[in-house]
Amino acid sequence: MLSESNFLILDEPTNHLDILSREALEEALQSYEGTMLIVSHDRYFINKLANRIYKLDKTGAKEFKGNYDFYIQNDIQNEVIKDVKPKNTSYKEKKEQEAQERKKQNRLKKIEEDTSANEAEIARLEALSLTSEVGSNYEKALEISQRITELKEKNDSLFEEWSKLME
């Protein structure tokens, strides 16, 4: 801080934060005028703060100028364009390929919706676990903790499926 640097490196900054702390962090970072390098699985957080996304894969890094929603939309379009086969396919094969691509896109959308719903439920349960009613009831706290763990495991499996579909 004394060197007046203007570059922050944040690794999973929203992990273990309650909703109010996340909102306070988002507000503080939105007013920050320097450069931030953020590594996070929190899509909402990234979507709010990012204006440039880098995708790292086997072939290197690819830059997307925009937020997370822009990245998802353009990365999927690029994948669709790469997967299109030469025009030497028959009408039937072409229709089959289009149907498979639609099915894949629908599944990707469903995975993203399910993941978002799970993340919202996790946030709700985490907020509920901070209440005095739950804090004083061991069984209720254990039940909520187990449900949060189940939802996180479900999101992990959804992410694995999403990753395989994106290959």
62: left (phi over 0), alpha (psi -120 to 50) or beta: beta
Which pLDDT does position 64 carry in this prediction? 85
Which pLDDT does position 84 carry in this prediction? 53
Write the DSSP assignment of 42-96 as a string of letters.
-HHHHHHH-S-EEEEETTEEEEE-S-HHHHHHHHHHHHHHHHPPPTTS-HHHHHH
Domains of the chain: 1-49 (no CATH), 84-167 (1.10.287)
Residues 137-159: tens digit of each pLDDT: 889 989 999 999 999 999 899 98
Average pLDDT for the chain: 85
The pTM of the full predicted model, rounded to 2 decimals, is 0.46
Residues 28-49: tens digit of each pLDDT: 999 888 889 999 888 888 888 9
Mean pLDDT of 2-15: 85
**CB-based burial, 132-145: b 16+ in 10 Å, e otherwise:** eebeeeeeeeeebe
- Amino acid letter at 102? R
